[in-house]
Structure 1
Amino acid sequence: MKKVIILGAGASKSYEESKTGVKMPIANDFFETFRKLDIAENPWVLIGELLHYVAERNNGGILDFLDFNGDIEELHTEIQEKLYHKLKQKNFQIGQDNVTLIKSYNQLIFLFISVINEIQNGPISDAHIRLAKQLSNEDSIITFNWDTLMDRALKNATGWNTDFGYFVSPVATFRNGWEKLDDSKKKLDFPILLKLHGSSNWLTSHNLPENGKMELMQDIDADKFFIYESTINPYDCFAGRFMDGYEEFSYGYYPPNLPIKGKSAPDGMMIMSMRIKNPLVPEGTSNSSGLTSMPLIIPPVKHKEYDSFGDLFLDLWTEARDRLVDADKIYIIGYSFPVTDIRSNDLFKSVFKKRKDYPEIIILNPNPDCILDRFHNQFGVPKSKIKIIKDYFTEDFIL
């Protein structure tokens, strides 16, 4: 019997073992959560342009950010829309206003993933371990979350690995150094984890404005990516700012640099980079060779730019659809179909159009009414095929 498990924010919110004592944030308490963490006082955490943007937006001072409690999805979407409006203008130039938009957009990605890394940096999640142990190699997990709670549990409890366990495979994986993918070791005797919005441990290159959009700086195809798993020794990263003290699948603010080259400059132009040293900010003690990296995620914005990464997400979403079409049971754990996830709604519509019958739907959620309504009234699933478990995701949950 093939099972597909859908994990949403509620599944991540269940994690209570973090060293920080803080739970995963939701959109409207993200900045409040950030301020509870030590990284909020770390000078290596880049929020300068974001401070300026919020100050100008609210007609206030830079220190107003210390009390800012806006919804991160709304803020990120607002910055994205302004940035892409500017990029499409024929007379677009890299002026200060545009630099603020570009850096604010990317700083929010780093900040978002940094908060996740800090909170997931603790013991392996008991609830996720228990779930992993109940899965077979015919089963799949589909998640819209960016954290690695499920990844780590699968690695610990099954034969799952980062090289082949995501369905899409990286160019290389960082395990105290970059290890290239070895196809000869490919064995799919474990559940597959499909991360439809990317992952905190997936890495890509930085992006720059080009041809009216933001394009990756790497000299390989946009769908080629890298994975961070673990380290013992300091790694090369931006300005040598390596931070230790992290468990597997988590890292400090700066991930390791990539073992590839960046794009060449167009004819008649050259690429230059510079970093102004601040005497109040301590210098990094690691090295900085390689191409500067950043997290590969689809951030929580209204207009999700899946095609920025070539066919990577097309392949993931297609595989997710096919596995949902073939599933005998579909579990919806802590996922409430947020309004910004338009594509997930379309995914399920396409699934039930392709199916010849209805699977059993199990909804685990303390507030399941809107999800029940969606599956029955929008997707056409008979209520007789839907089981409701009005509860939170814990280690006591049994498939």
Structure 2
Amino acid sequence: MKKVVVLGAGFSRAISERMPLMVDLRDQFESRLHLRDTVFEPFGDDVEAWLAYLASDQPWLSDSENQGNRALFSKAIDVLYDVIIKAQEHADQTQPSWLDRMSWQWSHENVTVLTFNYDTLLESAFTRVGWAHTASAFYAAPLTERHPIGSSGFLSEAPPRRRVPTVLKLHGSVNWWHGGSNAPLTEQMVYNPRPHARTRSEFLFADLQPFLVPPTSIKNSYYGRSGLVTQWRLAAQALRAADQVDIIGYSFPASDLPTRTFLSSTIRPDARLRVIDPFPRDGAAKSAMPGREVGLVHASAQVFAEKHAGTRVSAWYSQQDDGQYLLQIEENGALRTSLIPNTPQPDEELRRRLVDDYGPQEYTSTGGRGPSHAWSSTVEVFLPSDDECE
């Protein structure tokens, strides 16, 4: 079965409440760009519509006015980048366990992910599965790299150990950089492996800016860039081939007509469609998908993962003050322990113990936990579920 997962901003917000929704950015734009508090009124207080207006030349404005809008748009992208990066740095420190389980499940199913999110929280979770060690392994995008003079670009990462999920980022990413709105449409985007708040001042990226595209109509100049065109075309191919499509954290706003049209026109009529949203707008998903059966799941991403992702098991030994050992097994965050009177067996014995408890396992790896002075070697197991549409 070919499965596609579509992610909106609600998915990142479910990972961390620090991750912003577009509506949350209004105050940031007003304060950091010194805007009048009435600037959004002509756009119905819609921040996305305001960004779209700035990004495209308007025929009723003079050249200098359009250039001023483009300059303001570039500054707004800087603000957007900084807000996302700072929120992501916090979110990376407190990753929820359900995200790891979902990442393992999607890796097992070899899904294609279409995401409108700029952050790289999902890519980080996929790297923790361990089949690939950099976010770039999951991208099907024409990206290039930059290296300091004197360093070698020949020592690249080893290829993934298994076939990994594909992540198509339809609105760009904080770790994709480009030469700005005046760059050629065929320009290759630059992959930045470690984006952070100070990246703009680093010499390797000083002439570039983050490739973050506001959701807007296809007439926006960013949508003509070859890198983004590649993402959308591959996304359309994936949706046309998909037997099952899960849409998580996207609320089908009426103002986002291009995305609604894209989904309704490319998802196969016979594909099983599931929309996961704890607060769905009345009829929004069904009106966006006319003539098709839509399975509405009134649940958060976490609740959905608890039910549809597989089981994550971690097992390790810890020594007590009296010299005895505890066998500790954590299953989906729930810990159970048993006393071991003798010196524990090595990791291979732990593996056999987990086989006895959980049956044969396809996905087993070693890991570790705890502070450096009391580090414990672990055996990690993932038992995928047979996820089916309801």
How far residue 178 of structure 1 moved from its aligned partner, in angstroms, is 8.1
Kept after mapping to 2: 8 A contact 1:133/1:158: no
**1:192-271 alignment, distance < 5 Å:** 192-207=166-181, 215-216=182-183, 222-230=186-194, 250-252=195-197, 254-255=199-200
| Deviation sequence 1:96-123 (CA, Å, 0-9, x none) | x555423211011111121111111132
Distance 1:72 1:177 in 2: 44
Larger relative contact order (Cα-Cα within 8 Å, sequence gap ≥ 6)? 1
* Rg larger in structure: 2
Q: Is the 8 A contact 1:145 1:199 kept in 2?
A: yes
Q: Deviations over 1:161-180 (max 9, x none)?
A: 43341111411167999875
Stretch of structure 1 that moved more, 334-343 or 137-146: 334-343
| CA distance in 2: counterparts of 1:311 and 1:289, whole angstroms | 23
Question: Within the alignment, does 1:27 sit opposite 2:22 as a pair?
Answer: yes
Partner of 2:135: 162
Aligned to 1:151: 123
- For 2:79, which of 106, 111, 116 is the aligned residue? 111
- Say whether the 8 Å CA contact 1:9–1:145 is kept in structure 2: yes
Gaps of 5+ in 1: 17-21, 41-46, 59-68, 208-214, 231-249, 258-287
1:374 Cα deviation after fit? 3.0
Match of 2:233 among 308, 318, 339: 318
| Matching residue's letter, 1:189 | R
Cα deviations across residues 362-387 of structure 1 (Å, max 9, x unaligned)?
Answer: 221113343441365x2x223xxx43
- When residues 157 and 184 of structure 1 are mapped into structure 2, their CA distance, relative to the original with a 3 A threshold, is closer
Following superposition, the deviation at residue 71 of structure 1 comes to 3.9
2:53 and 2:210 map into 1 onto residues whose CA distance is 20
**Matching residue within 268, 274, 284 for 1:362:** 274
User: 1:316-355 to 2 correspondence within 5 Å?
Assistant: 316-352=231-267, 355=268
Check the 8 A contact 1:199/1:297 in 2, yes or no: yes
1:396 equivalent to 2:311? Answer no
Residues 179-227 of structure 1 deviation map (CA, whole Å, 9 limit, x = unaligned): 75889955571000011111111111134xxxxxxx21x7xx6340112
For 2:180, the aligned partner's letter is H
Partner of 1:282: none
TM-score by length of 2: 0.65
CA distance in 1, matches of 2:190, 2:154: 10
CA displacement, residues 36-71 of structure 1 (integer Å, 9 cap, x when unaligned): xxxx7xxxxxx4xx32x537959xxxxxxxxxx954
2: CA distance, partners of 1:253 / 1:184: 25
Paired position in structure 1 for 2:104 = 133
Change (3 A) 1:169 1:303: closer
Q: How far apart, in 2, do the equivalents of 1:108 and 1:387 lie?
A: 37
Residues 132-187 of structure 1 show CA distances to partners (whole Å, capped at 9, x for unaligned) of: 11023631111111111111111112424433411114111679998758899555
| Rounded Cα–Cα distance in structure 1 between residues aligned with 2:210 and 2:226 | 17
Give RMSD over aligned pairs. 3.6
Tell whether 2:10 aligns with 1:10: yes
Q: What are the ranges of 5 or more consecutive residues in structure 2 without an aligned counterpart?
A: 310-390
1:374 and 2:319 equivalent?
Answer: no
Helix, strand or coil at the partner of 1:14: helix
- The answer as to 2:213 corresponding to 1:298 is yes
Q: What TM-score, normalized by structure 1, do the two folds share?
A: 0.64
Q: Tell me the CA shift for residue 14 of structure 1.
A: 0.9
Q: Which runs of 4+ in 1 moved over 6 A?
A: 173-179, 181-184
Structure 2: distance between partners of 1:195 and 1:181? 27
CA distance in 1, matches of 2:18, 2:168: 23
Give the 3-state SS of the residue equivalent to 1:6 in structure 2.
strand
Identical-residue share of aligned pairs (%): 22
Post-superposition CA distance 1:271-300 (Å, at most 9, x none):
xxxxxxxxxxxxxxxxx4665110112124
Instruction: For residue 36 of structure 2, give the secondary structure of its aligned residue in structure 1.
Output: helix
Q: Work out the CA distance in 2 between the residues paired with 1:184 and 1:158.
A: 13
Higher fraction of strand: 2
In 2: Cα distance, 1:116 partner to 1:124 partner: 16
Q: Give the number of aligned pairs.
A: 298
Tell whether the 8 Å contact from 1:124 to 1:152 is kept in structure 2 after alignment: no
One-letter identity of the residue aligned with 2:308:
I
Seen in structure 2, the aligned counterparts of structure 1 residues 366 and 33 have a Cα distance that, compared at 3 Å, is farther
Does structure 1 conserve the Cα–Cα contact (< 8 Å) formed by 2:199 and 2:205? no
Preserved CA contact (<8 Å) 1:195 1:316: yes
